[in-house]
Structure 1
Amino acid sequence: MGERLPPAGWTRRDDIAALVAVLGEGNARYVGGAVRDTLLEIAVKDVDIATPLLPDEVIRRLSAAGIRNVPTGIEHGTITAVLPFGPVEITTLRHDVSTDGRRATVAFASDWQDDAARRDFTMNALYADPATLEIFDWFGGVADLKARRLRFIGDARQRIREDHLRILRYFRFQARFGSQPADKEAEEACAELAATLKGLSRERIGMEMLNLLGLPDPAPTVARMAELGVLAVVLPEADVPALAALVAQEARQSIAPDPVRRLAALLPADAALSEQVASRFRLSGAQKKRLATAAARDGAVQDARALAYRLGMDSALDRLLLAGADAKPLEGWTIPVFPLKGGEIVARGVKAGPEVARILRGVEAQWVAAGFADDRIEALLDAAIASVS
């Protein structure tokens, strides 16, 4: 027997063992990220199983065993088993019939190697037997993992022509798992075929870019994308050195990576441009708002807590870190609620209307400037009312 998968918490799960038993002997192998990440000794998020059983048979067996299942991707052969300790995706072996760079037409297969051959990188084409934990590796993925070498399976250009998004996936995986120098053939193929990214949906590109930017330190990889002409296709506005500066600030202040903040760093302080990029990447409403707020920065260092009160915690952190300012005052701090209401001003004899709103704004501004001192509200209000009497 060759290489074996080291035992891990997820390989000892009783619910997965029961699932494998339901599928039947020889009908299940762990595949992909769970195998890769276990070999790298990093936390496993998702468990995937490959099977020669057709989707209808998978559903029949799971249902007969009382295992709840959802046809999450049945057109591609994927059924999700809803288990007590987390879902597991079960996908029928496949081989590509045709591809056009955006989508693939697949047919179900019975050969494990055929299924492996259609995957993108050697480190993602590793399978493991649930009973023995024996690893099946047809393309040198284990050796590549040990060397931290990211390689396409087969001809890199052909793999990219099958699915253009593999260019961005390559750089994301390189940033997460790879080492330098990177695979020459892979980089040359990505540079040569970078223009094919224009044929992909903006949403797919945006999602992949945010996934890349959310990694611990994507700056060197993003810089390499710029050198190879890839970044100019998907984000021509990018200011690469600004990203490196932000990543350094996050690390210095022990603040978790945030992909939207990092996207903001790549963009100039231009609200109209940030709106264009947000639309191009199909960002959510909340993400668009944060990007626009970050774009309104002027580089001036402001009081951290006052900034958070005005903009919200996330946007305040964005502004502070992009300016290279200290965010420590926000650590463990909760944004307070302004303790004064308009009715209290009316009760003091001020006629309801614009004057009440003006007094409220004035007292609030002084309260914030005084460090959110609730014990000064009465004095501030007395002074404000006296000034209009």
Structure 2
Amino acid sequence: MTSLLPDADWRHRPGLDALLKALGAEQGLVRFVGGAVRDGLLGLPVNDLDIATVIDPKGVMERLKLAGIKAVPTGIDHGTVTAVIHGWPVEITTLRRDVSTDGRRATIAYTGDWREDAARRDFTINALYADPLTHEITDFFGGVADLKAHRVRFIGDADARIAEDHLRILRYFRFLARFGDDRPDAASYAACRAAANSLMALSRERIADELLKLLAVPRPLAALRLMIDGGILLPVVPEIDGSGLARLSALIEREAASGAGLSALRRLAALLPPDPRAADQVGARLKLSNKARKRLMTALEGGGGETPRALAFRIGVEGAIDQILIDPAASLDSMGTLTDWTPPRLPISGGALIARGLQPGPDVARALAQVQEIWVAEGFPDEARVAEIADQTVSKFQRARQ
């Protein structure tokens, strides 16, 4: 029986009909492809839309220009043009076949054969096409059945698909975590294990991006267990092991219990050894941004018994939430005090201490630090109380100098 793409809001976005008309949908020249079809069949929200076409990239650009639709040659060397309709990007890619691959990039040629285009894709559930007018699904490799069975498998020979692009190893486990039932296809899992060392040939940025995407999936634990048991991460992030998985499992429970929402970076911190320096080394190896590396380190520093707000004042609200969630001994009840809270600024300056009679010099900075310490310890009282603390602190420093 032929499958049909269910109706959904994304199919009625402003400008989409005009785009499809410009690209010759009525002549059968275009089809929706990939994630939009897969997620559409599952009733999931569709944000990114990809369209496949038999028209070459130059022809796509000309058609869009003629229709007054903004066209950006984002990946024109690889056959991709991005149309922008009402601020919404739609990627349009000419049907392709691989001429040669080296595991990192492919040399491609254009084709008019839909099956040939499908055969170069990674998983059966990603090689689904839908006619935008009849909504009929084209499925060359059993992707619809795999989707219904929560089965993730490579198209054709798994070893060959991985040899074409080594990143597909990591993508396999992300898709298993998102769409699978936590039981890997035997041939796919064996191929991933056999080729794990080939991950070393990839850029660290691509590895980091894929790992963080996996950690952003609500339930990544079973897939990560398979990766650890299969030695998948050993060549690139050997620091991730079973003990890290136990910490991540506890974190995921605490994220759910607290309602804090998930964070891929926080989850990565939990997976790594509880050592800020080790986390920074991993962050550097994965070419994470300085901001991301700082967050990993801060998350693993461990609190000093401070109140949540005192901790947040010292390291920031994000860092405090990370530390509280990662520390299984920290109470989740106190996290409510950080909701919509912005750490205040100390409402007094060194000049105010000098005006109270403190001699200019190094004592001013030391006294101000003591005022802040008391202010934080007392839960950030109002300016009247800060003035009292300042008077007492100045008197203390003056007595010390007598």
- TM-score class, shorter: over 0.9
- Amino acid of the structure 2 residue aligned with 1:195: N
Unaligned runs of 5+ in 2: none
The residue aligned with 1:3 is 3
Map 1:54-133 onto structure 2 (within 5 A). 54-84=56-86, 86-133=88-135
For 2:305 and 2:196, locate their aligned partners in 1 and report how far apart those are by CA, in whole Å: 39
Name the residue aligned to 1:283: 288
| Partner of residue 271, structure 1 | 276
Deviating runs (4+, > 4 A) in structure 1? none
Amino acid in the other structure paired with 2:181: S
Deviation of the 1:85 alpha carbon: 5.1
Residue identity matched to 1:289: K
Matched, 1:332 2:336: no
Matched residue, 1:314: 318
- C-alpha distance after superposition, 1:179-203 (max 9, x if no partner): 1322111111111111111111111
Residues 150 and 182, structure 1, Cα contact 8 Å, conserved in 2: yes
Alignment match, 1:303: 307
Question: One-letter code of the match for 2:166?
Answer: H
Find the counterpart in structure 2 of residue 223 from structure 1: 225
Tell me which residue corresponds to 2:21. 21
Q: Which amino acid aligns with 1:371?
A: G
Using the TM superposition, give the Cα deviation of residue 217 of structure 1 relative to its aligned residue in structure 2, in angstroms. Answer: 2.0
Cα deviation for residue 14 of structure 1 reads 3.6
Q: Could you tell me how far 1:274 is from its partner in structure 2?
A: 1.5
Output aligned runs, 1:139-178, within 5 Å.
Answer: 139-178=141-180
> Is the contact made by 1:359 and 1:384 (CA closer than 8 Å) also made in structure 2?
yes
* TM-score w.r.t. length of structure 1: 0.97
What is the distance in 2 between the residues matched to 1:311 and 1:351?
A: 31
**1:301 Cα offset (Å):** 4.6
Q: Quick one: structure 1 residues 228 and 129, their matched pair in 2 at CA, closer, same or farther if it must change by over 3 Å? A: same
Find the aligned partners of 2:185 and 2:13 in 1 and give their Cα distance.
37
Q: Deviations over 1:30-83 (max 9, x none)?
A: 001111111111111101101111111111111111111111111111111011
Aligned mates of 1:59, 1:341 — CA distance in 2: 61
**121-130 or 320-329: which moved more?**
320-329
For 1:332 and 1:295, locate their aligned partners in 2 and report how far apart those are by CA, in whole Å. 23
Aligned length: 388
C-alpha distance in structure 2 between counterparts of 1:234 and 1:242, whole Å: 20
Residue of structure 1 in register with 2:368 after alignment: 360
1:351 and 2:359 equivalent? Answer: yes
Moved more, 148-157 or 267-276: 267-276
Deviations 1:309-354 (CA, angstroms, capped at 9, x unpaired): 1101111111111112222321232222221122222222223321
Contact 1:5 1:35 in 2 (8 A): yes
Of residues 178, 183, 186, the one that matches 2:185 is 183
CA–CA separation in structure 2 for the residues paired with 1:85 and 1:145? 31
Corresponding residue number in structure 1 for 2:248: 243
- Give the match's secondary structure for 2:88: coil
Specify the code of the residue in structure 2 equivalent to 1:68.
Answer: K
The CA distance in 2 between the partners of 1:312 and 1:218, in whole Å, is 28
Q: 1:301·1:320 contact (CA, 8 Å) conserved in 2?
A: no
Cα separation, 2, equivalents of 1:307 and 1:14: 47
Q: What is the aligned partner in structure 2 of residue 38 from structure 1?
A: 40
Q: Is the 8 A contact 1:100 1:162 kept in 2?
A: yes
User: Match of 1:44, SS?
Assistant: coil
How many Å separate the matches in 1 of 2:95 and 2:73?
16
**What's the offset of the Cα at 1:150?**
0.5
* Cα shift at 1:272: 2.4
Alpha-carbon distance in 2 for matches of 1:181, 1:220: 9
Range that drifts further, 276-285 or 328-337: 328-337
Aligned to 2:262: 257
Within the candidate set 360, 381, 397, 1:388 is matched to 397
Cα distance in 2 for residues equivalent to 1:121 and 1:302 = 49
TM superposition shift of 1:224: 1.4
Measure the CA separation in 1 of the matches of 2:351 and 2:93: 62
Q: Post-superposition shift, 1:271?
A: 2.7
CA distance in 2, matches of 1:323, 1:271: 14
Residue 221 of structure 1 aligns to which amino acid in structure 2? A
Whichever residue aligns with residue 144 of structure 1, its letter is: D
The equivalent of 2:299 in structure 1 is: 294
Q: Which amino acid aligns with 2:20?
A: V
Q: Secondary structure at the match of 1:318?
A: helix
Which SS does the other structure have where 2:182 is aligned? coil
Aligned-CA RMSD value: 1.3
Q: 2:111 is matched by which residue type in structure 1?
A: A
Is the Cα contact below 8 Å between 2:367 and 2:397 reproduced in 1?
A: no
Deviations 1:141-161 (A, max 9, x none): 111111111111001111111
Which segment is superposed worse, 348-357 or 74-83?
348-357
Contact 2:14 2:86 in 1 (8 A): no
Q: Given that residues 222 and 231 in structure 1 are in contact (C-alpha distance below 8 angstroms), is that contact kept between their aligned partners in structure 2? A: no
Unmatched runs of 5 consecutive residues or more in structure 1: none
